[in-house]
Structure 1
């Protein structure tokens, strides 16, 4: 099974809601980045994302967190790629004091499944 993983610090400036919460679109952007990484490694092309068949928001993402986005290939057609995504909070920031803790096990915040397509001639 092929996969790609990215880690990123969530800046406090990315939080837009009460409780220092980050919007769900933040996770989807990271899924786009890690999915593109996976497509390049599998096919030598960034691919074109067709859409999500499911997205589940399971836990909050907050400013000060460190998150890990993972894309895993689950099915490979002639040109289509079905990919499972998972965003985990691996470190949780505190209240802006700089303190944080490593979460063991990581907290699964978002899960999704989507489809990417590789152009027939390798171009868009």
Structure 2
């Protein structure tokens, strides 16, 4: 197990056009929060051998838009270890973005990536078996 502060998990996902709900191919901010739930689940499996439960967010910041055609990278980092609670810091970044002005399938790698969402949350895990 990897139960130490600073341990992190990262997932990447393509944002399909079917997820665009708003003008300009914008995707709702909950898309990034859904990814945070997924990376939190893997992190807790890696650290505690259990999926755990998400208790809540202490803060959420929507910093830039997510668009259909983006490739999003979400990272969860373990920042505090309690008896049963785990505090996680989250960051979602756009690492690739579509470039429709160059063609219907054109896209660019963003260097540096664009940070779209940051959050801090608390998850809980069961008591260890005795």
TM-score by length of 2: 0.91
CA deviations on 1:46-90 (whole Å, 9 max, x unpaired) are: 001000000000000000000000000000011100000000000
Query: Where do residues 52-67 of structure 1 align in structure 2 (5 Å cutoff)?
Result: 52-67=57-72
How far is 1:94 from its partner? 2.2
Aligned length: 122
RMSD: 1.1
CA distance in 2, matches of 1:24, 1:9: 15
Paired residue for 1:33? 38
- Runs of 4+ aligned structure 1 residues displaced above 2 Å come to none
Partner SS state of residue 13, structure 1 = helix
Mapped to 1, the partners of 2:15 and 2:94 lie a distance apart of 10
Please state whether the residue corresponding to 2:78 is helix, strand or coil: strand
- The TM-score with structure 1 as length reference comes to 0.95
**2:50 aligned residue:** 45
> Any gaps of 5 or more consecutive residues in structure 1?
none
1:105 is the counterpart of 2:108: no
